Structure 1
Amino acid sequence: MGFLLTVSFLIHGLSLFCIILLYMQVTKVKRIERLQEQNINKMEAVMGSYLAEFQEQNEQFLRQLQHRSTSLSSETKKNSEKLPLLDEENGPVQRVNLKSEPSESLHELLSIEESQKHRSTSFHELTTDQIQDLSGEEMKEFSVYLKKKGLTIEEIAKHLHRGKTEIELLLKFHQ
Protein backbone atom coordinates (compact mmCIF):
# COMPACT_ATOMS: atom_id res chain seq x y z
CA MET A 1 0.00 0.00 0.00
CA GLY A 2 2.88 2.38 0.62
CA PHE A 3 4.01 1.65 -2.90
CA LEU A 4 0.68 2.65 -4.36
CA LEU A 5 0.65 5.80 -2.28
CA THR A 6 4.10 6.76 -3.60
CA VAL A 7 3.02 6.09 -7.17
CA SER A 8 -0.10 8.19 -6.60
CA PHE A 9 2.01 11.14 -5.30
CA LEU A 10 4.32 10.83 -8.28
CA ILE A 11 1.40 10.84 -10.72
CA HIS A 12 -0.17 13.80 -8.92
CA GLY A 13 3.15 15.68 -8.95
CA LEU A 14 3.61 14.93 -12.66
CA SER A 15 0.02 16.09 -13.34
CA LEU A 16 0.60 19.27 -11.34
CA PHE A 17 3.82 19.91 -13.28
CA CYS A 18 1.97 19.44 -16.63
CA ILE A 19 -0.83 21.76 -15.48
CA ILE A 20 1.73 24.45 -14.53
CA LEU A 21 3.45 24.08 -17.94
CA LEU A 22 0.12 24.36 -19.77
CA TYR A 23 -0.85 27.42 -17.68
CA MET A 24 2.47 29.10 -18.56
CA GLN A 25 1.87 28.37 -22.26
CA VAL A 26 -1.65 29.81 -22.11
CA THR A 27 -0.45 32.99 -20.35
CA LYS A 28 2.34 33.33 -22.92
CA VAL A 29 -0.17 33.04 -25.79
CA LYS A 30 -2.47 35.58 -24.13
CA ARG A 31 0.46 38.00 -23.68
CA ILE A 32 1.39 37.60 -27.36
CA GLU A 33 -2.23 38.21 -28.37
CA ARG A 34 -2.31 41.42 -26.29
CA LEU A 35 0.94 42.59 -27.90
CA GLN A 36 -0.44 41.85 -31.35
CA GLU A 37 -3.62 43.72 -30.55
CA GLN A 38 -1.59 46.72 -29.36
CA ASN A 39 0.52 46.59 -32.54
CA ILE A 40 -2.62 46.42 -34.67
CA ASN A 41 -4.06 49.46 -32.86
CA LYS A 42 -0.78 51.37 -33.36
CA MET A 43 -0.72 50.48 -37.07
CA GLU A 44 -4.34 51.55 -37.48
CA ALA A 45 -3.53 54.89 -35.84
CA VAL A 46 -0.48 55.39 -38.08
CA MET A 47 -2.40 54.43 -41.23
CA GLY A 48 -5.24 56.74 -40.19
CA SER A 49 -2.84 59.64 -39.76
CA TYR A 50 -1.22 58.86 -43.15
CA LEU A 51 -4.64 58.74 -44.81
CA ALA A 52 -5.64 62.01 -43.18
CA GLU A 53 -2.39 63.59 -44.36
CA PHE A 54 -2.91 62.26 -47.91
CA GLN A 55 -6.47 63.55 -47.91
CA GLU A 56 -5.29 66.96 -46.74
CA GLN A 57 -2.60 67.05 -49.44
CA ASN A 58 -5.13 66.01 -52.09
CA GLU A 59 -7.55 68.72 -51.03
CA GLN A 60 -4.74 71.28 -51.08
CA PHE A 61 -3.69 70.09 -54.55
CA LEU A 62 -7.27 70.32 -55.82
CA ARG A 63 -7.59 73.86 -54.44
CA GLN A 64 -4.33 74.86 -56.16
CA LEU A 65 -5.43 73.20 -59.40
CA GLN A 66 -8.79 74.94 -59.27
CA HIS A 67 -7.12 78.27 -58.53
CA ARG A 68 -4.72 77.83 -61.43
CA SER A 69 -7.45 76.80 -63.84
CA THR A 70 -9.57 79.82 -62.93
CA SER A 71 -6.59 82.16 -63.22
CA LEU A 72 -5.58 80.57 -66.53
CA SER A 73 -9.08 80.82 -67.92
CA SER A 74 -9.35 84.45 -66.88
CA GLU A 75 -5.93 85.21 -68.42
CA THR A 76 -6.81 83.49 -71.69
CA LYS A 77 -10.14 85.29 -71.73
CA LYS A 78 -8.37 88.63 -71.27
CA ASN A 79 -5.75 87.78 -73.89
CA SER A 80 -8.31 86.54 -76.39
CA GLU A 81 -10.32 89.74 -75.97
CA LYS A 82 -7.27 91.98 -76.40
CA LEU A 83 -5.24 90.27 -79.13
CA PRO A 84 -6.59 89.35 -82.56
CA LEU A 85 -5.91 85.83 -83.77
CA LEU A 86 -3.13 85.62 -86.34
CA ASP A 87 -2.65 83.07 -89.04
CA GLU A 88 0.96 82.57 -90.13
CA GLU A 89 0.14 82.83 -93.81
CA ASN A 90 -2.91 85.09 -94.06
CA GLY A 91 -2.50 87.56 -91.20
CA PRO A 92 -5.43 88.26 -88.82
CA VAL A 93 -8.16 85.63 -88.55
CA GLN A 94 -11.76 86.64 -88.15
CA ARG A 95 -13.63 85.35 -85.14
CA VAL A 96 -16.90 83.54 -85.65
CA ASN A 97 -19.70 83.84 -83.16
CA LEU A 98 -21.33 80.42 -83.19
CA LYS A 99 -24.30 81.69 -81.20
CA SER A 100 -25.27 84.19 -83.88
CA GLU A 101 -27.85 83.59 -86.55
CA PRO A 102 -26.80 81.07 -89.22
CA SER A 103 -27.49 83.49 -92.08
CA GLU A 104 -25.14 86.11 -90.58
CA SER A 105 -22.25 83.72 -89.93
CA LEU A 106 -22.49 81.72 -93.17
CA HIS A 107 -20.16 84.08 -94.99
CA GLU A 108 -17.69 83.97 -92.09
CA LEU A 109 -17.78 80.15 -92.00
CA LEU A 110 -17.13 79.96 -95.74
CA SER A 111 -14.12 82.26 -95.42
CA ILE A 112 -12.73 80.11 -92.59
CA GLU A 113 -13.28 76.96 -94.65
CA GLU A 114 -11.38 78.52 -97.57
CA SER A 115 -8.48 79.46 -95.29
CA GLN A 116 -8.40 75.88 -93.98
CA LYS A 117 -8.31 74.57 -97.55
CA HIS A 118 -5.40 76.88 -98.23
CA ARG A 119 -3.68 75.54 -95.09
CA SER A 120 -4.29 71.95 -96.22
CA THR A 121 -2.51 72.55 -99.48
CA SER A 122 0.60 73.51 -97.51
CA PHE A 123 0.85 69.87 -96.37
CA HIS A 124 2.31 69.05 -99.79
CA GLU A 125 5.38 71.13 -99.03
CA LEU A 126 6.33 69.32 -95.78
CA THR A 127 9.71 67.58 -95.61
CA THR A 128 10.42 64.33 -93.78
CA ASP A 129 11.93 66.18 -90.81
CA GLN A 130 8.91 68.48 -90.60
CA ILE A 131 6.55 65.49 -90.71
CA GLN A 132 8.39 63.88 -87.79
CA ASP A 133 8.17 67.14 -85.82
CA LEU A 134 4.36 67.42 -86.17
CA SER A 135 2.38 67.61 -82.95
CA GLY A 136 -0.40 65.13 -82.20
CA GLU A 137 -3.15 67.45 -83.40
CA GLU A 138 -1.27 68.31 -86.59
CA MET A 139 -0.61 64.61 -87.17
CA LYS A 140 -4.33 63.93 -86.84
CA GLU A 141 -5.21 66.77 -89.25
CA PHE A 142 -2.64 65.60 -91.76
CA SER A 143 -3.81 61.97 -91.61
CA VAL A 144 -7.45 63.06 -92.06
CA TYR A 145 -6.37 65.25 -95.00
CA LEU A 146 -4.56 62.32 -96.63
CA LYS A 147 -7.52 60.02 -96.00
CA LYS A 148 -9.85 62.53 -97.69
CA LYS A 149 -7.48 62.57 -100.65
CA GLY A 150 -8.14 58.82 -100.99
CA LEU A 151 -4.92 57.32 -99.59
CA THR A 152 -5.09 54.00 -97.77
CA ILE A 153 -4.05 53.61 -94.15
CA GLU A 154 -0.81 51.88 -95.21
CA GLU A 155 0.07 54.76 -97.53
CA ILE A 156 -0.71 57.34 -94.85
CA ALA A 157 1.46 55.41 -92.38
CA LYS A 158 4.35 55.43 -94.89
CA HIS A 159 3.99 59.17 -95.52
CA LEU A 160 3.91 59.99 -91.82
CA HIS A 161 6.54 57.42 -90.82
CA ARG A 162 4.15 55.93 -88.25
CA GLY A 163 2.58 52.54 -87.66
CA LYS A 164 -0.66 51.42 -89.29
CA THR A 165 -2.31 50.90 -85.93
CA GLU A 166 -1.48 54.44 -84.80
CA ILE A 167 -2.98 55.89 -87.99
CA GLU A 168 -6.08 53.69 -87.66
CA LEU A 169 -6.59 54.93 -84.11
CA LEU A 170 -6.11 58.56 -85.14
CA LEU A 171 -8.71 58.19 -87.87
CA LYS A 172 -11.15 56.31 -85.62
CA PHE A 173 -10.90 58.97 -82.92
CA HIS A 174 -11.46 61.66 -85.54
CA GLN A 175 -14.77 60.08 -86.55
Structure 2
Amino acid sequence: MTTILIAVLFVLQLLSIYFIIILNTKLAKFKDLEKKQERLMREMDDSISLYLTEMKDENNRLIQALQVVPKPEMATTTGQQKRNALQKNEGQPLSSLESHTKEAGRENEPRILVPKNIVTNAYSRQQLGGAPVQATASKPPTVQKEEPQPLTMEQQIVQMAKQGKSAEEIAKKLQKGKTEIELLLKFHS
Protein backbone atom coordinates (compact mmCIF):
# COMPACT_ATOMS: atom_id res chain seq x y z
CA MET A 1 0.00 0.00 0.00
CA THR A 2 2.82 2.39 0.73
CA THR A 3 4.39 1.52 -2.58
CA ILE A 4 1.19 2.41 -4.39
CA LEU A 5 0.99 5.66 -2.49
CA ILE A 6 4.62 6.46 -3.34
CA ALA A 7 3.95 5.64 -7.03
CA VAL A 8 0.89 7.93 -7.09
CA LEU A 9 2.83 10.76 -5.45
CA PHE A 10 5.69 10.26 -7.93
CA VAL A 11 3.26 10.46 -10.90
CA LEU A 12 1.64 13.58 -9.41
CA GLN A 13 5.06 15.20 -9.02
CA LEU A 14 5.90 14.39 -12.66
CA LEU A 15 2.57 15.88 -13.80
CA SER A 16 3.13 19.02 -11.75
CA ILE A 17 6.66 19.43 -13.19
CA TYR A 18 5.23 18.96 -16.71
CA PHE A 19 2.57 21.66 -16.12
CA ILE A 20 5.19 24.00 -14.63
CA ILE A 21 7.33 23.57 -17.77
CA ILE A 22 4.32 24.26 -20.03
CA LEU A 23 3.41 27.39 -18.05
CA ASN A 24 7.03 28.56 -18.15
CA THR A 25 7.19 28.23 -21.97
CA LYS A 26 3.90 30.09 -22.34
CA LEU A 27 5.19 32.83 -20.08
CA ALA A 28 8.40 33.07 -22.13
CA LYS A 29 6.34 33.36 -25.36
CA PHE A 30 4.20 36.06 -23.77
CA LYS A 31 7.33 38.00 -22.73
CA ASP A 32 8.74 37.71 -26.27
CA LEU A 33 5.47 38.94 -27.69
CA GLU A 34 5.50 41.84 -25.25
CA LYS A 35 9.06 42.76 -26.29
CA LYS A 36 8.08 42.65 -29.96
CA GLN A 37 5.11 44.92 -29.28
CA GLU A 38 7.31 47.41 -27.42
CA ARG A 39 9.82 47.40 -30.28
CA LEU A 40 7.03 47.98 -32.84
CA MET A 41 5.64 50.79 -30.74
CA ARG A 42 9.09 52.41 -30.56
CA GLU A 43 9.54 52.07 -34.34
CA MET A 44 6.12 53.57 -34.99
CA ASP A 45 6.81 56.36 -32.54
CA ASP A 46 10.18 57.05 -34.18
CA SER A 47 8.71 57.05 -37.69
CA ILE A 48 5.87 59.36 -36.69
CA SER A 49 8.24 61.72 -34.89
CA LEU A 50 10.54 61.68 -37.93
CA TYR A 51 7.59 62.43 -40.18
CA LEU A 52 6.48 65.26 -37.92
CA THR A 53 9.96 66.78 -37.76
CA GLU A 54 10.21 66.61 -41.55
CA MET A 55 6.82 68.32 -41.81
CA LYS A 56 8.00 70.97 -39.34
CA ASP A 57 11.19 71.53 -41.35
CA GLU A 58 9.16 71.74 -44.57
CA ASN A 59 6.81 74.27 -42.97
CA ASN A 60 9.76 76.33 -41.73
CA ARG A 61 11.28 76.31 -45.24
CA LEU A 62 7.93 77.40 -46.67
CA ILE A 63 7.63 80.21 -44.14
CA GLN A 64 11.16 81.37 -44.93
CA ALA A 65 10.47 81.22 -48.67
CA LEU A 66 7.29 83.24 -48.22
CA GLN A 67 9.13 85.83 -46.16
CA VAL A 68 11.79 86.19 -48.86
CA VAL A 69 9.29 86.77 -51.69
CA PRO A 70 9.08 90.53 -52.32
CA LYS A 71 5.63 91.94 -51.86
CA PRO A 72 4.33 94.05 -54.77
CA GLU A 73 4.19 97.77 -54.15
CA MET A 74 0.70 99.10 -53.72
CA ALA A 75 1.47 102.64 -54.89
CA THR A 76 -0.53 103.66 -57.94
CA THR A 77 0.97 105.82 -60.60
CA THR A 78 -0.86 108.45 -62.57
CA GLY A 79 -0.92 108.58 -66.34
CA GLN A 80 1.54 111.47 -66.34
CA GLN A 81 4.03 109.50 -64.23
CA LYS A 82 3.74 106.57 -66.63
CA ARG A 83 4.36 108.81 -69.63
CA ASN A 84 7.39 110.35 -67.94
CA ALA A 85 8.79 106.91 -67.15
CA LEU A 86 8.29 105.78 -70.76
CA GLN A 87 9.93 108.95 -72.11
CA LYS A 88 12.93 108.34 -69.87
CA ASN A 89 13.23 104.74 -71.07
CA GLU A 90 12.70 105.35 -74.81
CA GLY A 91 16.41 105.23 -75.57
CA GLN A 92 17.05 102.18 -73.39
CA PRO A 93 17.02 98.61 -74.68
CA LEU A 94 14.04 96.32 -74.06
CA SER A 95 15.71 94.46 -71.19
CA SER A 96 15.96 97.63 -69.12
CA LEU A 97 12.29 98.33 -69.80
CA GLU A 98 11.47 94.84 -68.57
CA SER A 99 13.53 95.40 -65.44
CA HIS A 100 11.65 98.66 -64.90
CA THR A 101 8.31 96.82 -64.96
CA LYS A 102 9.70 94.17 -62.64
CA GLU A 103 10.84 96.85 -60.22
CA ALA A 104 7.32 98.21 -60.19
CA GLY A 105 6.18 94.87 -58.76
CA ARG A 106 4.25 93.62 -61.78
CA GLU A 107 6.17 90.40 -62.47
CA ASN A 108 3.92 88.37 -60.15
CA GLU A 109 0.64 89.71 -61.51
CA PRO A 110 -1.38 87.37 -63.74
CA ARG A 111 -1.49 88.48 -67.36
CA ILE A 112 -4.88 89.30 -68.82
CA LEU A 113 -5.09 88.28 -72.44
CA VAL A 114 -7.40 90.36 -74.64
CA PRO A 115 -8.21 89.35 -78.22
CA LYS A 116 -6.19 91.20 -80.90
CA ASN A 117 -9.17 92.63 -82.74
CA ILE A 118 -10.44 94.39 -79.61
CA VAL A 119 -7.00 95.87 -78.92
CA THR A 120 -6.54 97.11 -82.50
CA ASN A 121 -10.03 98.63 -82.56
CA ALA A 122 -9.44 100.39 -79.27
CA TYR A 123 -6.06 101.68 -80.42
CA SER A 124 -7.41 103.00 -83.72
CA ARG A 125 -10.40 104.67 -82.00
CA GLN A 126 -8.09 106.28 -79.49
CA GLN A 127 -5.84 107.58 -82.27
CA LEU A 128 -8.82 109.02 -84.17
CA GLY A 129 -11.02 110.45 -81.47
CA GLY A 130 -8.92 110.49 -78.35
CA ALA A 131 -11.99 109.38 -76.37
CA PRO A 132 -11.75 106.48 -73.93
CA VAL A 133 -12.95 103.22 -75.42
CA GLN A 134 -14.70 100.44 -73.60
CA ALA A 135 -14.32 96.88 -74.81
CA THR A 136 -17.57 95.35 -76.06
CA ALA A 137 -16.40 91.78 -76.27
CA SER A 138 -18.86 89.00 -75.68
CA LYS A 139 -16.29 87.09 -73.63
CA PRO A 140 -14.69 88.55 -70.52
CA PRO A 141 -10.90 88.67 -70.54
CA THR A 142 -9.38 85.43 -69.37
CA VAL A 143 -6.52 85.01 -66.94
CA GLN A 144 -4.13 82.30 -67.96
CA LYS A 145 -1.47 80.84 -65.76
CA GLU A 146 1.92 80.77 -67.41
CA GLU A 147 2.95 77.37 -66.06
CA PRO A 148 1.21 74.73 -63.92
CA GLN A 149 2.06 74.39 -60.26
CA PRO A 150 4.59 71.61 -59.55
CA LEU A 151 3.29 68.59 -57.66
CA THR A 152 4.03 68.39 -53.97
CA MET A 153 5.98 65.47 -52.58
CA GLU A 154 2.77 64.01 -51.18
CA GLN A 155 0.98 64.25 -54.55
CA GLN A 156 3.95 62.62 -56.30
CA ILE A 157 3.91 59.71 -53.85
CA VAL A 158 0.17 59.14 -54.24
CA GLN A 159 0.44 59.39 -58.02
CA MET A 160 3.28 56.84 -58.14
CA ALA A 161 1.34 54.50 -55.87
CA LYS A 162 -1.66 54.76 -58.22
CA GLN A 163 0.68 53.79 -61.08
CA GLY A 164 1.39 50.56 -59.20
CA LYS A 165 4.86 51.28 -57.86
CA SER A 166 5.85 49.77 -54.54
CA ALA A 167 6.82 51.80 -51.49
CA GLU A 168 10.46 50.78 -51.95
CA GLU A 169 10.53 51.99 -55.56
CA ILE A 170 8.92 55.29 -54.59
CA ALA A 171 11.36 55.73 -51.69
CA LYS A 172 14.36 55.12 -53.96
CA LYS A 173 13.11 57.46 -56.65
CA LEU A 174 12.26 60.32 -54.27
CA GLN A 175 15.18 59.59 -51.91
CA LYS A 176 12.95 59.25 -48.86
CA GLY A 177 12.61 56.60 -46.19
CA LYS A 178 10.51 53.52 -46.92
CA THR A 179 8.62 53.78 -43.62
CA GLU A 180 7.85 57.43 -44.33
CA ILE A 181 6.39 56.50 -47.73
CA GLU A 182 4.37 53.65 -46.24
CA LEU A 183 3.05 55.91 -43.50
CA LEU A 184 2.05 58.59 -45.97
CA LEU A 185 0.31 56.02 -48.19
CA LYS A 186 -1.58 54.71 -45.16
CA PHE A 187 -2.78 58.25 -44.43
CA HIS A 188 -4.08 58.53 -48.01
CA SER A 189 -5.74 55.13 -48.23
TM-score, normalised to structure 2, is 0.42
Could you say which structure has the higher helix fraction?
1
**Max radius of gyration: which structure?**
1
